[in-house]
Amino acid sequence: METRALDQVLAQLRSAAARAGIAGESTAPAAVGGKTADFATVLKASLDHVNTRQQQAAKLATDFELGVPGANLPEVMVSIQKANISFQQTVQVRNRLVSAYHEIMNMQV
């Protein structure tokens, strides 16, 4: 896979994150002590973020079902959709990474 194709994928992910409204999080590797974070750290942080969204959506849905004051249906639905979109984006990133891995493994050296 060419680096240009990887750059395009990263640009798409950054624009999707910006449209999703992920505030306060950088899509670029974070600087830690003057060094950039490695891929595993960035990937884990992204997965943790998706997991948090899923848990928040489930809690809001449960609160609404139990009739907790302050839990309203529009907020629950928006939260569930955000969690769903985050999960779908994660699956697409995984699919692209697997595809890139297979392409690299099939290269002749």
* Averaged pLDDT for residues 58-74: 92
- For position 2, what pLDDT does the model report? 60
The average confidence (pLDDT) of the chain is 82
Nearest to 25 by CA among 52, 5, 59: 52
* Averaged pLDDT for residues 7-25: 67
- The yes-or-no verdict on residue 17 having pLDDT over 50 is yes
The C-alpha R_g of the chain, in whole angstroms, comes to 18
Alpha-carbon distance of 45 to 65, in angstroms, equals: 30
Q: Which two tokens stand for residue 23?
A: 């505030």
In contact, 90 and 98? CB cutoff 8 Å: no
Name the pLDDT band for 21 (thresholds 50, 70, 90): low
Alpha-carbon distance of 23 to 31, in angstroms, equals: 17
- For position 108, what pLDDT does the model report? 83
